Chains A and B, each alone.
Chain A
């Protein structure tokens, strides 16, 4: 038996639970991610990160985020994962010192010059190697291990056999993605954005040109197919079926992609994987993947999904050839602010009305659906339509709900 599990009271339980790592682009989302069960959150500061268009955190906000996370037994990781040009280095040392003082647990880096700077000016910061380095094999992992990194975010192009071998042959934490969109290129090895739109993909400017559709032409100029154009769009990664195997392999952290995603998305996805991981770890030998998880995964996906490289080398079936197939995720209509005596106070996030069937979910409850029989405004007046952004209303609910539980429209 490996050290992943132990027999306790005659039953095998998982004792080496992987960290569930969620994205956040602001404090509100960070708090939701932690409340919904993330063991750690990652986000970018206002400099040196790869999502230049996300809102990103100031140093003060980073400190607040770290304090909040630590008080909830969670960790915070910051992306410092641009590939630097000469002048970009200005201010890096002060920034790293600021991160260390703010209580950031580790930074994710892609350019090794940051390792040198961290060792010199902010030695308490942990160093994780970003997936932007496309570290795939155990020899490359050993390089980073010897450099003092604590964790590798493995390139997405790894099969389960490769992940297993990498874990067996190295002594460093291996983190993998479990959910979200995929780069079609090796991460860090794509200049489409630079060449097509003058935006530097390795410095946060990626304009996602790989999602475009193209006529593929032969050398005589003939278009291969005028109706279905060439596409490099990957189906999203969803690993609900593979999570048990991934836990048993000893992967140290499961990462959810999506720093640009909504609060509802983060809550839904974290909720899904938190429950799945906990259920498996409690009694792995009697675990069965229930329909609930599959249904939940579909609710938070607006694109088709696949396990990508994990089970087999990706074929046409792991790609997307017609973006019109995308569908909106199930609509998020409100968040619970309070609950008392069967009445939930809700802040509206999208239009809904009396008579709608809605679903409530959250970390403390099992999802439940019901039809809205009555809605009142803050003054207790009955209303039929809830159309104002962030409008506060009261709804009669059939079961107890909790602050920050979320509500989706079913029909």
Chain B
């Protein structure tokens, strides 16, 4: 109770929760105090990251829930028919475990969830597609109560979405942004074409013009990530002030040292509005192995190209 009072005094009435996507499941003990909850990926079900099989994760999920952490499971890849049996079994298991939500990218998840009458919450997470409040309201009417906003949406748009929907919202504030997903094995295919052996290393697409390296990985197909790391630590307060329900700090592609510092810093900012955020912003940037930016918070993409030419 005393802790709760202290918290309210420091931050005010702050309903926003911070969710962490661990860089590595083995690092979760170091991250436990840096988030209100976690988003975990299950093998074969996520397009961008995996923290293990369901049997690997089950005891971790139970343990984290016992520690009052919210647990969301990301199963946001596009599903093929061969995935559906396993998907259905997992949905039933996760429903029994009473996880806080399941992030979906494929509407097959919604169909199965409806057919089975599951209680577990679903989170609309179609990567680049969660972009407006009208469609949030559409899904809300279908009993989908949460949405994970696309990385390509501006801060003004996020606030506008929040002001016009009852759907609870998630927004990523830190980490690489996913920018491409394909079911093809594009790295393996390239090495096959060259008749060379692919090494056990991380690969990047080098963009000479922008001087950026885009991480590229083969997880359930091929995924590419942004060349800049989103560092939205300055934006956390604004998202809290506008009652965004969850902010996400994503550790994918980062090592323990860097990510533990990042997660700790973000959680401090989330809980203490007296901190010097600009200094933390600079400190984080100095530690990051990649260039950083503020994503699309203040950049609007061009819609009709002709009008701009």
Q: Hey, which chain A residues are within 8 Å of B199, CB to CB?
A: 218
Q: Does B299 contact A (CB under 8 A)?
A: yes
Q: Point out the residue from B107, B128, B133, B189 that lies within 8 Å of A83, measured CB to CB.
A: B128
Shortest distance from the beta carbon of B190 to any chain A beta carbon, whole Å: 5
Q: Hey, which chain B residues are within 8 Å of A398, CB to CB?
A: none
Q: Point out the residue from A89, A110, A217, A225 that lies within 8 Å of B196, measured CB to CB.
A: A225
Shortest distance from the beta carbon of A256 to any chain B beta carbon, whole Å: 23
Chain B interface, >50% SS class:
mixed
**Considering the chains assembled together, what is the distance between the CA atoms of A160 and B107 in angstroms?**
21
Q: Does B4 contact A (CB under 8 A)?
A: no
Q: Hey, which chain B residues are within 8 Å of A217, CB to CB?
A: 203-206, 213
**Considering the chains assembled together, what is the distance between the CA atoms of A164 and B110 in angstroms?**
22
Q: Which residues of A in the span 149-178 have a Cβ within 8 Å of any Cβ on B?
A: 155, 157-158, 162, 165-166
Q: Hey, which chain B residues are within 8 Å of A214, CB to CB?
A: 205-207
Closest residue on chain B to residue A46 by CB atoms: B304
Q: Hey, which chain B residues are within 8 Å of A162, CB to CB?
A: 80-81
Q: Does A319 contact B (CB under 8 A)?
A: yes
Q: Point out the residue from B106, B107, B204, B208 that lies within 8 Å of A216, measured CB to CB.
A: B204
Could you tell me if B203 and A216 are in contact, using CB atoms closer than 8 angstroms?
yes
Q: Which residues of A in the span 7-25 have a Cβ within 8 Å of any Cβ on B?
A: none
Q: Point out the residue from A85, A184, A186, A231 that lies within 8 Å of B78, measured CB to CB.
A: A186
Q: Hey, which chain A residues are within 8 Å of B110, CB to CB?
A: 143
Choose, from B26-34, B37-45, B53-61, B173-181, the stretch at the interface.
B173-181
Q: Does B2 contact A (CB under 8 A)?
A: no
Shortest distance from the beta carbon of B166 to any chain A beta carbon, whole Å: 15
Closest residue on chain A to residue B209 by CB atoms: A196
Closest residue on chain B to residue A158 by CB atoms: B80
Q: Hey, which chain B residues are within 8 Å of A205, CB to CB?
A: 301-305
Q: Point out the residue from B128, B179, B224, B302 that lies within 8 Å of A202, measured CB to CB.
A: B128
Shortest distance from the beta carbon of B154 to any chain A beta carbon, whole Å: 9
Could you tell me if A83 and B193 are in contact, using CB atoms closer than 8 angstroms?
no
Shortest distance from the beta carbon of B290 to any chain A beta carbon, whole Å: 12
Q: Does B288 contact A (CB under 8 A)?
A: no
**Considering the chains assembled together, what is the distance between the CA atoms of A162 and B83 in angstroms?**
12
Could you tell me if B129 and A195 are in contact, using CB atoms closer than 8 angstroms?
no
Q: Hey, which chain B residues are within 8 Å of A231, CB to CB?
A: 190
Could you tell me if B203 and A189 are in contact, using CB atoms closer than 8 angstroms?
no
Could you tell me if B181 and A186 are in contact, using CB atoms closer than 8 angstroms?
yes
0/1 per residue, B131-146, Cβ < 8 Å to A?
1111101110000000
Could you tell me if B84 and A321 are in contact, using CB atoms closer than 8 angstroms?
no
Q: Does B157 contact A (CB under 8 A)?
A: yes
**Considering the chains assembled together, what is the distance between the CA atoms of A202 and B152 in angstroms?**
11
**Considering the chains assembled together, what is the distance between the CA atoms of A307 and B183 in angstroms?**
16
**Considering the chains assembled together, what is the distance between the CA atoms of A199 and B306 in angstroms?**
11
Q: Point out the residue from A142, A184, A199, A321 that lies within 8 Å of B193, measured CB to CB.
A: A321
A139-B79, A192-B224, A321-B193 given; A84·B84 CB < 8 A = no
Interface size on B, residues (CB 8 A): 74
Between A85, A136, A185, A210, the greatest number of chain B beta carbons within 10 A of the residue's beta carbon is seen for A85
Could you tell me if A84 and B134 are in contact, using CB atoms closer than 8 angstroms?
yes
Q: Point out the residue from B107, B153, B181 that lies within 8 Å of A189, measured CB to CB.
A: B181
Q: Does A232 contact B (CB under 8 A)?
A: yes
Could you tell me if B80 and A230 are in contact, using CB atoms closer than 8 angstroms?
no
Interface size on A, residues (CB 8 A): 72
Q: Which residues of B in the span 187-245 have a Cβ within 8 Å of any Cβ on A?
A: 187, 189-194, 196, 199, 201-208, 210, 213, 216, 224, 226-227
Q: Hey, which chain A residues are within 8 Å of B180, CB to CB?
A: 185, 189-192, 210
Q: Hey, which chain B residues are within 8 Å of A88, CB to CB?
A: 132, 303
Could you tell me if A86 and B160 are in contact, using CB atoms closer than 8 angstroms?
yes
Q: Does A204 contact B (CB under 8 A)?
A: yes
Could you tell me if A111 and B205 are in contact, using CB atoms closer than 8 angstroms?
no
**Considering the chains assembled together, what is the distance between the CA atoms of A334 and B299 in angstroms?**
47
A194-B152, A216-B205 given; A199·B305 CB < 8 A = yes
Could you tell me if B303 and A190 are in contact, using CB atoms closer than 8 angstroms?
no
Could you tell me if B81 and A191 are in contact, using CB atoms closer than 8 angstroms?
no
Could you tell me if B202 and A219 are in contact, using CB atoms closer than 8 angstroms?
yes
Q: Does B71 contact A (CB under 8 A)?
A: no
Q: Does B67 contact A (CB under 8 A)?
A: no
Q: Does B111 contact A (CB under 8 A)?
A: yes
**Considering the chains assembled together, what is the distance between the CA atoms of A321 and B192 in angstroms?**
11
A89-B132, A195-B177 given; A136·B78 CB < 8 A = yes
Q: Point out the residue from A188, A196, A198, A315 that lies within 8 Å of B129, measured CB to CB.
A: A188
Q: Which residues of B in the span 263-309 have a Cβ within 8 Å of any Cβ on A?
A: 296, 299, 301-306
Q: Point out the residue from A84, A112, A166, A223 that lies within 8 Å of B81, measured CB to CB.
A: A166
Q: Does A123 contact B (CB under 8 A)?
A: no
**Considering the chains assembled together, what is the distance between the CA atoms of A205 and B152 in angstroms?**
14
Residues in A lying within 8 Å of B, measured CB to CB: 52-53, 82-86, 88-89, 110-113, 115-116, 133-140, 142-144, 146, 155, 157-158, 162, 165-166, 184-186, 188-192, 194-196, 198-205, 210, 214-220, 223-225, 228, 230-232, 314-316, 319, 321
A-B contact pairs, 10 of them (CB 8 A): A89-B132, A136-B79, A137-B84, A146-B111, A184-B186, A189-B181, A195-B152, A195-B227, A219-B201, A316-B192
Residues in B lying within 8 Å of A, measured CB to CB: 47, 78-81, 83-84, 105-112, 126-129, 131-135, 137-139, 151-153, 157, 160-161, 164, 177-184, 186-187, 189-194, 196, 199, 201-208, 210, 213, 216, 224, 226-227, 296, 299, 301-306
New A-B pairs, 12, CB < 8 Å, besides A85-B153, A188-B126, A216-B204: A83-B128, A86-B164, A115-B138, A157-B80, A185-B182, A189-B128, A195-B179, A205-B303, A214-B207, A219-B204, A230-B205, A315-B189
